């Protein structure tokens, strides 16, 4: 959630025509290898993942559809961990997508420079005891905030995740929407893609593995940034 550069505002309109996703990273793979790798890249572009309402153990549904891209910048390809003891939000949406690395990224491996992700969009959110860490190889860059009386506040928040767990509760949830018809957080995903939305969301003991985070406003009271032997 925190500190990823240039995080897309939930209300932003993507520049990926015909898709309507909240953001549009380049959809070109990071390699030009022929053969099996090219096939894998095509498959990753076509497959879109969506998380069922439990957000935890129900698993990811892979759909063949036009890809939804969660951010408007090339991701580094280095995942980071985000935790919070509590998240409360109003205006919640969720749908599947792809994030793309810069051409030639050393983190691309055999992925073709793309990562299947689940985009979660929240219009307004508060988080308690936020922690974010990224493994730099031998040390972790650790960020903490909101551990005191004041909570972390975010508006137009999106996170692009490969894993998400916690104890979740929703108010007025709708499951199985077409992502292009979402209305709760001001973001519209690609047509033909499974999605869900709710008036409110509460997640206790939140834990995410993210590739990107964006927000229109992000207030981090008690911010501390440091290197640490351990992550979140």
Cα angle, residue 168 at apex, residues 167 and 173 outer, rounded to 5°: 165
Does residue 40 register a pLDDT over 80? no
| Nearest by Cα to 115 from 165, 77, 80, 82 | 77
For the segment 64-77, the average pLDDT, to the nearest whole number, is 58
The sign one gets for the Cα dihedral 93, 97, 101, 103 is negative
Torsional class of 162: left (φ above 0), alpha (ψ -120 to 50), beta (otherwise): alpha
Does residue 24 register a pLDDT over 50? no
Does residue 55 register a pLDDT over 70? no
Six-digit token string for 205: 């003991």
Q: What is the pLDDT of residue 19?
A: 44
Does residue 20 register a pLDDT over 70? no
Count helices and strands in the chain by DSSP H and E runs:
1, 11
Does residue 78 register a pLDDT over 90? yes
Does residue 83 register a pLDDT over 90? yes
Say if residues 10 and 22 touch (Cβ distance below 8 Å). yes
Does residue 184 register a pLDDT over 90? yes
**Which of 34-48, 67-81, 98-112, 161-175 is the least confident region?**
34-48
Residue 42 has what DSSP assignment?
Answer: H
pLDDT tens readout for residues 186-222: 998 889 989 999 999 999 999 999 999 999 999 999 9
| Nearest by Cα to 126 from 186, 224, 201, 46 | 201
Say if residues 166 and 207 touch (Cβ distance below 8 Å). yes
Q: If you average pLDDT over every residue of the chain, what do you get?
A: 79
Q: What is the pLDDT of residue 39?
A: 52
Q: What is the pLDDT of residue 34?
A: 52
Q: What is the pLDDT of residue 189?
A: 86
> How many C-alpha atoms does 217 have within 13 Å on its Cβ side?
10
More confident residue, 32 or 106: 106
pLDDT tens readout for residues 145-182: 999 999 999 999 999 999 999 999 999 999 999 999 99
Classified as helix, coil or strand, 113 is: coil
Say if residues 7 and 183 touch (Cβ distance below 8 Å). no
Residues of the chain with pLDDT > 70: what percent?
69
Other C-beta atoms closer than 10 Å to the C-beta of 29 total 22
For the segment 87-103, the average pLDDT, to the nearest whole number, is 95
Note the helical H segments in 7-161: 36-46
**Which of 11-25, 47-61, 103-117 is the least confident region?**
47-61
Say if residues 229 and 139 touch (Cβ distance below 8 Å). yes
């Amino acid at each position: 959630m925190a500190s990823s550069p240039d995080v897309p505002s939930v209300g932003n309109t993507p520049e990926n025509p015909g898709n309507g996703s909240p953001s549009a990273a380049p959809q070109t793979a990071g390699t030009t290898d022929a053969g099996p790798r090219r096939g894998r890249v095509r498959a990753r572009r076509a497959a879109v993942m969506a998380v069922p309402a439990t957000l935890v153990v129900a698993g990811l549904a892979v759909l063949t559809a036009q890809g939804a891209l969660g951010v408007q910048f090339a991701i580094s390809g280095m995942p980071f961990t985000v935790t919070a003891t509590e998240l409360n939000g109003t205006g919640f949406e969720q749908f599947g997508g792809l994030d793309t690395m810069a051409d030639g990224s050393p983190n691309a491996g055999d992925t073709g420079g793309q990562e299947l992700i689940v985009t979660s969009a929240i219009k307004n959110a508060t988080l308690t005891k936020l922690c974010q860490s990224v493994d730099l190889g031998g040390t972790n860059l650790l960020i903490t905030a909101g551990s005191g009386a004041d909570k972390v506040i975010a508006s137009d928040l999106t996170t692009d995740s490969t894993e998400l767990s916690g104890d979740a509760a929703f108010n007025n949830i709708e499951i199985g929407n077409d992502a292009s018809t979402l209305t709760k957080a001001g973001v519209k995903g690609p047509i033909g893609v499974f999605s869900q939305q709710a008036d409110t969301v509460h997640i206790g003991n939140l834990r995410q593995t993210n590739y990107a985070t964006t927000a229109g406003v992000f207030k981090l009271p008690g911010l501390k940034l440091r290197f640490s032997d351990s992550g979140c």
